[in-house]
Structures are given as structure tokens and as C-alpha cells.
Structure 1
Amino acid sequence: MSVIRTESLTKRYGSTSVAALDGLTIDVGPGVTGLVGANGAGKSTLIKILLGLLEPTAGDAQVLGHDIRSDGTAIRTVVGYMPEHDCLPPDMRAIDFVVHMARVSGLPPAAARERAADVLRHVGLAEERYRLMGGYSTGMKQRAKLAQALVHDPRLVMLDEPTNGLDPAAREDMLALVRRIGHDFGIPVLVTSHLLGELERISDHVVVLDSGQLLRSEATGSFLADTGVVLVEVIGDRGPDGVDAQTRMGEALAAGGVTCRPRGALIEIQPAAPPGGSDGIPEDREAAALQLDTLRNLVRDAAADLGLGLVRVQPQTGRLEDVFREEVAS
């Protein structure tokens, strides 16, 4: 079931030849979807169009079955939106602000106050809900913005840079909240972030944008699949000729027919394609496991022969940051 669907969505400002969005076609389903892109990639423009706040130049889009051109009010009724920038009135208490947003969304007074208390508790502001938001820390402000996005029990939540400006501990808490919304509460989430490692951990699906165009749209697991590369770390003394442990190990592996190179303090071993493999990566799990076992034995024996300590032999999985960099470069 599609939560968001766009077809050749395009947005140009004025007579400029540069498009903020250029023929974007995506299909977003349930769960947590990460929207990735550098500044100017079109993320905020896409969200504004999906909310019915900005008219596209061309193309179509539906949000929860509502057409963006004709059903903007209906979309905003069923969607919760957390903006990137600070937009909280400093002279209001969080409880009053969230109640107000609930009333704006159509909840009656009693239900609005009950719902506001519930969501403020869920986001961790139960004790601070009666304080003026002008005295909130950045983390507390982000939580208050998240609360107002959830107060009307939306069917979809759009979060624009929810960890912006947070320290590591507060970022972890916010990420846990986002994942809880998408999985425990069952509310689909579209979340943007410049910190790509965050999206690896919380997203079920990733959409990569660059200059308004779609680069990739896949399940997160497809981005993070095993690359076939193996990383080796050894420790030990220098040899009689003064060569360090890493170099000695690399030379021994190369003499054994292994293609390898240094990567910082590690040794990167390139995969050797077994029969039926392509690009050095086996086609099936059994072949991959056999290849890795053979390589581990070779590494173990080489380290033992040299008298080195073997710290780790680790298959390298992809990272979203690496994939994004490679896609944009190509």
C-alpha cells in the first residue's frame, strides 16, 4: 500500500532553468522512510508540495490517496509535520501550545487537552510541559515540535531534520522516538537527515535525491548489503628489517595470492569471485560463506607464521554514506 506516490513531479521557480524537483517519481510505503540529500537536493520542496503548501510546476502526487493539487486541506488534516527550523512561540507553555495545535486540527477542548498530555508524556516532556518554551533547551524544543506533529493522531508523519542541533544523547533519544512512531505506533514516517548514519539505523526504506532528481529508492538493507570486502587488523612488533606489523601481514597475504591494500590501520582484502560470482561477490550465501571461511583460515595462518596478534577479520557491509557519495559522483 502506497502512503506517498509521485509521478514526474517537477518544481521550477520563476524562469530559472534549474529545477528544485525534476521529474521525481517515488512510491513510499509504511514504516520509516529516510529522505537523503544534500542542501538544495529538493527535500524541503518535496515536503511542502506533499503538504499542499506549494504548487508543482508539473507532475502529480498523492498523499494517503489525496491529490496534492485539490486536497491540500484534507492532507494537512491527516498528516503531522515537524519543521526543521525553530517555530515555537517562546511565551507559551508547551501544554498550551500543543493543546492549541490539537484544537486547530479539529479536536474538541477536552479531547485536545487529554491528547496533548499524552503526547507530551510520550516525547519526554511530562515534567516540563508547564514551562515557557522560551526557556527550553534545543532538545526540549525538538520534542515539543514532535508533540505538536502527533497530537491529532495523524495517519502519516513528516519530520524535517528532527535531530538538528541535538547533542549525541538527545539525538539517540529522538531517533528512538522516530523508530517507535513508525513501528510501535504503526504510523508511517517520512524523515530527512543530513546525518546519514542515523537513517541506516532507523529507516526501512531510503530515497536518495540529488539536484531534484531521484538517484535511488530501495530498502535500507539493499544499501547496506555485504560488499564482499574483508577487513583485517593485526598487532605486533616490527620485523628485523623495521617493517611494521600491518605491512608484514599485507605482504604475506599478497604472496599467498590475496589482493589487498592498506586502509588506515586495517588491511582491506578485495574479494575473489568464485564460479558463478560477479564483481567479486558470490551469487549465493553458501558460496559466500565458503569463500569467507577459506580467507579466514589463510589470514589466521599468515598471522601465526609471522607471530602477529589477529585482532579481527571482518566482512565489510555497505554504508549509506558511501553509497550516497558513489551515486552522486557517478
Structure 2
Amino acid sequence: MDPVVRTEGLTKDYGAVLALDELDLEVPVGTTGLVGANGAGKSTLLKILLGLVSPTHGRVEVLGHDLATEAEAVRAVVGYSPEHDCLPPDVSASDLVVHLAMMSGLPRVAARERAAEVLRHVGLGEERYRPMGGYSTGMRQKAKLAQALAHDPRLVLLDEPTNGLDPAARDEMLGLVRRIGHDFGISVIVTSHLLGELERVSDTIVVLDGGRLLRASRTDEFLDETGTLLVEVLGTDARDRMAAALADAGVEAHPRGSMLTVTAAHDTLDVRDLVRDTASDLGLGLVRLQVDHRRIEDVFADPEDADVAADDDGGASDDADEEAARV
């Protein structure tokens, strides 16, 4: 299956800032999380994909269209929800979505029907006729999402859609993002500085660092098993006693917050049984015993490991088995 986005040597040089540096990237169909610190090039990449900013050099394809010659065709099939608040306070969500749907080419009647549909989908069915100046932050984020979906796009770009939301509203928004990608079959590229969010909703993760591609791979490859166990017992003193007892048994155990990371010194050692028996012998309350998985944060905490993983996985492509890459 062809990628929804392909870049070759994509560079954007603002003079004082090199926002993107010879970026080679392929984004597969599905939901892709775009990760990176401030200044990594995320927003610049989205603006280039929309045709709002011209690259210094390089080539970009979006949904098979060459952005240099077919920018209008790209905008017809791509929706965009910006990070910053840009909604007119004296306009209702219904009027805004209808207007933008008509600008995208829908007739008035179809635009009204589509607006009602997407506003109900995002949870603004009852409030769609109210002026958006009286909306909460969560409602305003939903209105931005609705207008991005108004013209039935094939790809939606969401820039920090959970920005400013409380935990409950954030969970609701993430559920909407997941439904767009998995229930409606619309590919999504979503940015967030909260990396745990992207683990929950993304099929693929792309990590940018200083305008370059640090890693791109399936989310489950980021979250593969580390070969260690996470062990939690009741109390810091109990944790230290458990660590000492496991060390005496030839098992490495290191504190991680209130828990221990435990690694077997010998392949044949049944670590789980040892942990359980040790907790019982010491009279400790065993709260948790589970396999440790990597997190997206580990790519930033240990970039050398990320480089090795990227080299091992090869170039990013639409091949579902080999999407990791490094520039």
C-alpha cells in the first residue's frame, strides 16, 4: 500500500533556523504520531504538507500528489486542525463548519448535512448553534476537529489536539482521534508533546530531532519487551530488602521509582517464581509483577539505543514489517 506522505531530501532553512534538514520519510496508511521537542520541525512539516510553507528544497508527495505541482488537489483531500486557537468568537460551530465545507467544494445543502454529522460525531450536537466565544477549551478543540473533517478528507493533520485539556477531556479527544483512524478509515498524522498519548492512539511513531529523522517505526516496535520485569512491593524499605535478597540469589535488581527492574543472571532461572517466593519468605506485599516494555520516552533518554534500533530495522517504507529509519 502506498504511503500517505513521502518526502525526499526535504529541507526548510529559515536562515537563522534550519527547521528541516534533508528529511527522508514515508508515512504509512493509518494513525501516525509525530513526536519531537519544541523546534524539532513538527509544525513546519505539517505546514509544508498543507502547502502553506514552501520548502527550501526537496520533494513531497501527499496521497500520491506532488505538492509542488498539485497543491490544490492535496488541500482538497486533507483536513487540518491547528494547534493555536483561531475560532471566531461570534460565529457558531455550525456556521463555521458549513462555511469551510462549502469552501472545500461541497454544495450548501450537502455542507449543512455534513456539518451536522461531524459535529454530532465530535460531541457538539447540542451546542452547535451557540457562538464559539462561550465554548470551553474542550469544546473549541472539538470544533477545530469537526471543521477538519467537514469535507470528508482522506488524511487529517492534527497539531496538538489535546492542548489545554483536562484529563477527562483529553481521554475523550484521544478516543475521537482513534475512531477517525480505525473506524472511519481516515489516515491521521497527530502531534503531541505528551508521548504517552501517542502510544495509545498511533499505529506508527515518527520521531524528529533538530529537523532530522531520529526514528520511524510501528508503535509496537517502540514498546517491545526489554527482557526485564517490573516488581513493586509495599514500601520503600520493602523494595530495598527485595533488591538485596534478589541480588543474593544472583539476580540484578535496580530501583525505578517505587519499583524494581529485575533481570535474570542465568537464562534458565525462573525469575517470576523467585520474585514470588522471595516476597513470601520476607513477608512483603507483592503489588505488581509484569514484563517491562520500552516507552517512546526511551528514544530521547537513550538516543544511541534509538540509533541502533533504527539501523537494525532499515529504511522507513510502506512495508509494514520495516518502517524504522534513521537519517
TM-score (norm 1): 0.88
Alpha-carbon separation, structure 1, partners of 2:109 and 2:255: 65
Cα deviations by residue, 1:189-229 (Å, 9 ceiling, x for unpaired): 00000010000000000000011000000000000011112
How many residue pairs were aligned? 305
Partner residue, 1:66: 65
1:9 counterpart letter in structure 2 = L
Alpha-carbon separation, structure 2, partners of 1:122 and 1:107: 19
> Which residues in structure 2 correspond to 1:110-121 (within 5 Å)?
110-121=109-120
Partner residue, 1:281: none
Partner residue, 1:298: 274
Partner residue, 1:27: 26
Tell whether the 8 Å contact from 2:43 to 2:159 is kept in structure 1 after alignment.
Answer: yes
- Which segments of structure 1 move beyond 4 Å, counting only runs of 4 or more? none
Partner residue, 2:88: 89
Among 274, 284, 292, the alignment partner of 1:308 is 284
1:91 counterpart letter in structure 2 = D
Alpha-carbon separation, structure 2, partners of 1:89 and 1:20: 30
Tell whether the 8 Å contact from 1:3 to 1:28 is kept in structure 2 after alignment.
Answer: yes
> Which residues in structure 2 correspond to 1:117-128 (within 5 Å)?
117-128=116-127
Farther off after superposition, 305-314 or 188-197: 305-314
Partner residue, 1:4: 5
2:138 counterpart letter in structure 1 = G
2:274 counterpart letter in structure 1 = L
Tell whether the 8 Å contact from 1:93 to 1:130 is kept in structure 2 after alignment.
Answer: yes
Distance 1:256 1:272, change over 3 A: closer
Partner residue, 1:247: 240
Partner residue, 1:152: 151
Let me know the Cα RMSD of the aligned residues.
1.7
Partner residue, 1:286: none
Identity percentage of aligned residues: 66
Tell whether the 8 Å contact from 2:264 to 2:271 is kept in structure 1 after alignment.
Answer: no
Tell whether the 8 Å contact from 1:31 to 1:183 is kept in structure 2 after alignment.
Answer: yes
Distance 1:302 1:220, change over 3 A: same
Alpha-carbon separation, structure 2, partners of 1:142 and 1:321: 26
2:219 pairs with 1:261:
no
Alpha-carbon separation, structure 1, partners of 2:285 and 2:155: 52
2:87 counterpart letter in structure 1 = L
Tell whether the 8 Å contact from 1:117 to 1:126 is kept in structure 2 after alignment.
Answer: yes
Structure 1 residue 271: Cα displacement: 4.3
Cα deviations by residue, 1:301-326 (Å, 9 ceiling, x for unpaired): 22222222322222111111222332
2:243 counterpart letter in structure 1 = G
Cα deviations by residue, 1:151-200 (Å, 9 ceiling, x for unpaired): 10001100000001111111111100000000100000000000100000
Secondary structure of 1:158's counterpart equals strand
Alpha-carbon separation, structure 2, partners of 1:136 and 1:244: 49
Partner residue, 1:270: 263
Secondary structure of 1:154's counterpart equals coil
TM-score (norm 2): 0.89
Secondary structure of 1:244's counterpart equals helix
Tell whether the 8 Å contact from 2:232 to 2:288 is kept in structure 1 after alignment.
Answer: yes
Structure 1 residue 273: Cα displacement: 6.4
Alpha-carbon separation, structure 2, partners of 1:113 and 1:264: 53
2:209 pairs with 1:233:
no
1:139 counterpart letter in structure 2 = G
Alpha-carbon separation, structure 1, partners of 2:186 and 2:266: 43
Secondary structure of 1:77's counterpart equals helix
Tell whether the 8 Å contact from 1:53 to 1:72 is kept in structure 2 after alignment.
Answer: no
Alpha-carbon separation, structure 2, partners of 1:235 and 1:84: 42
Cα deviations by residue, 1:257-307 (Å, 9 ceiling, x for unpaired): 111122232222134464xxxxxxxxxxxxxxx76xx00111122222222
Tell whether the 8 Å contact from 2:13 to 2:56 is kept in structure 1 after alignment.
Answer: yes
Partner residue, 1:214: 213
Structure of larger gyration radius: 1
Secondary structure of 1:26's counterpart equals strand
Secondary structure of 2:54's counterpart equals coil
2:223 counterpart letter in structure 1 = L
Partner residue, 2:322: none
Tell whether the 8 Å contact from 1:208 to 1:324 is kept in structure 2 after alignment.
Answer: no
Partner residue, 2:161: 162
Tell whether the 8 Å contact from 2:32 to 2:189 is kept in structure 1 after alignment.
Answer: yes
Runs (5+) with no aligned partner, structure 1:
237-242, 275-289
